[in-house]
Amino acid sequence: MGKSVITVPVREYLTALDLKAWYGSYATFQRDPAFYYLGIGEVGGIPFLQQELPAILQTVARSEAVYQRAVHYAGTRGELRTNELLSHHLNTLLGVTRFHEEHVVPFDGAHDAISCIVRACTVPLSSAQDRRHYVLLPVPSYPYFASIIGAHAGLIAFPAYTGEEVVEGIERYTTPEVGMILINVPNNPIGYTLSTAEQIERINAVADRYDTAIVVDIVYAWNVPDRETIRLLRLFDPERTILVDSFSKKYGLPGYRIGYTVTANLETAEALRLIKTAQSVNPSNVKLLLAAYLLEHYPEWPARIGAEIATRFHTFYHRMVESTGYGITLPPFSPAANTFYLPLFTERFTHQTGLSPEELARICKQDYRVITYPGTRMGPPSILQRGKMELPLQAGHPPRLTDPAPVIEVPDFASRWRPFLRISLGAEHRIAEAADRLSQAIQECWEEKG
């Protein structure tokens, strides 16, 4: 190896993450009809999208407004009309009227938004300017979260598999060093939501006690059939909360990288705008014009896409019930669940067969042509340096970080982590066939190895 000019934390992440293996190189998702795609978190195989979207993209691309934006620099606020429509979209989703264009900050996808929020609400571990060095994160979670956080701050991770476990973990593990609590509800990959107002008020109370931000990733809000569950999210403290959303799932456009944040706190909004401006001035106004066009002319599409994927979920779930006799545990069926994903917990299967989720995923792909996603990728990379947390002996006292490090797994992390496969219902439309093929793989592995 030649000379290295990068920092130690970045070098550790390069060692921990093989970017080509985890996230791909130049390749984008290419469908081979010989395989069933239950791993990738994209939207596909939806008839009305396939029929209508190409013409819409061409119409927007040929518009005079696109030419005008493409040949000039833009301001730092994006597109006024886009921000107006985004705020209206979120007000409608949550059943509120509090958000307006000045509360919206556009980003290059939700991923980019989270990165800028981490920079606004935490400081690097070595910094003495502020005590807020950590992000508190329930896991399993979106697999990019750990690397997004680790590029700037520290991560405190705790396992959670229900909305109540999320709240209990926030109450138990928040420390004065936590600058933001990052919550992904509806959750990827487990599918839980926060189901009561009382749960949200408890999170608000913790955030107020420790003066932390609450960051809520609501990318999958349209994938929950029970709309009232989503409207509960309006109860998060408006002054502390930053909502993050994107067009990847609601319009099936991950390649356009259209994301945004909404917060009622104007100082927070300006801080995010400042950081985004330093990074790239603003997202491309050309793609923001597309966002406005879709929101104005096709506001019903997120609900239609969500309904299509919910139908897939119901079909898949009920066809997989038989696999529970072969060591697989399904979460309880609920109208408040995120229907984009379904975790297949493998504790009993692994104990009986000796096959880990990674080995099962390999067999499914190699021998049955079913592609799934092992859950081990949805927590902090194992190679990164771990610190230590000491829980208080007396109630009412916060935990103590006895050994600060880039990653702190809470004391009972290992005993509470559950092995699983994540199933995505977004891209694959041959759901009954895929479920039957996966069930066959599980049954035959169980009978052969058990």
What is the three-class DSSP state of 344? strand
Burial (CB < 10 A; 0-12, 13-18, 19+), residue 261, is buried
Residue 335 and residue 403 in contact, taking contact as beta carbons nearer than 8 Å: no
**CA 394, chain centre distance (Å):** 34
Task: Please give the CATH superfamily to which domain 8-50+301-379+414-449 belongs.
Answer: Aspartate Aminotransferase, domain 1 (3.90.1150.10)
**CATH code assigned to 72-298+387-412:** 3.40.640.10
pLDDT of residue 19: 65
Indicate whether 46 pLDDT > 80.
Answer: yes
Average pLDDT on 193-213 reads 98
Residue 401 and residue 177 in contact, taking contact as beta carbons nearer than 8 Å: yes
pLDDT of residue 335: 95
What is the amino acid identity at position 23? Answer: Y
Indicate whether 165 pLDDT > 60.
Answer: yes
Instruction: Return the domain boundaries, the chain.
Output: 8-50+301-379+414-449, 72-298+387-412
For 240-270, the pLDDT digits (tens) are 999 999 999 999 999 999 999 999 999 999 9
Residue 294 and residue 258 in contact, taking contact as beta carbons nearer than 8 Å: no
pLDDT of residue 28: 63
For 105-144, the pLDDT digits (tens) are 999 999 999 999 999 999 999 888 899 999 999 999 998 8
Given the DSSP bridges, would you call strands 388-390 and 400-403 parallel, antiparallel or unpaired?
A: antiparallel
Across the chain, mean pLDDT equals: 94
Indicate whether 370 pLDDT > 90.
Answer: yes
Place of tokens 């502390």: 240
Given the DSSP bridges, would you call strands 241-246 and 213-217 parallel, antiparallel or unpaired?
A: parallel
- Sheet of 420-424: strand order equals 341-345, 420-424, 373-374
C-alpha to C-alpha distances, 37 to 40, 48, 193, nearest whole angstrom: 7, 20, 25
Round to whole Å and give the CA distance between 446 and 450.
5
Indicate whether 1 pLDDT > 60.
Answer: no
What is the three-class DSSP state of 40? coil
Q: Which helix (H) or strand (E) holds 345?
A: strand 341-345
Among 168-182, 315-329, 380-394, whose mean pLDDT is lowest?
Answer: 380-394
**Entry pTM:** 0.95
pLDDT of residue 143: 87
What is the amino acid identity at position 151? Answer: A
Dihedral angle computed from the Cα positions of residues 58, 60, 64 and 67, in that order, rounded to the nearest 10 degrees: -80
Among 16-20, 49-53, 183-187, 213-217, whose mean pLDDT is lowest?
Answer: 16-20
Among 16-20, 54-58, 211-215, whose mean pLDDT is lowest?
Answer: 16-20
Phi and psi, residue 256, nearest 5°:
-85, -15
- List the one residue out of 302, 309, 306, 119 whose CA is nearest residue 215: 119
Residue 340 and residue 219 in contact, taking contact as beta carbons nearer than 8 Å: no
Residue 337 and residue 190 in contact, taking contact as beta carbons nearer than 8 Å: no
Cis peptide bond upstream of 186, omega within 30 = yes
Round to whole Å and give the CA distance between 347 and 39.
20
- What percent of the chain is predicted at pLDDT more than 70? 97
Q: Where are the alpha helices (DSSP H) in 95-142?
A: 109-121
Residue 388 and residue 412 in contact, taking contact as beta carbons nearer than 8 Å: no
Residue 341 pairs with which residues in a beta bridge?
Answer: 424
Token code pair at residue 237: 């403290």
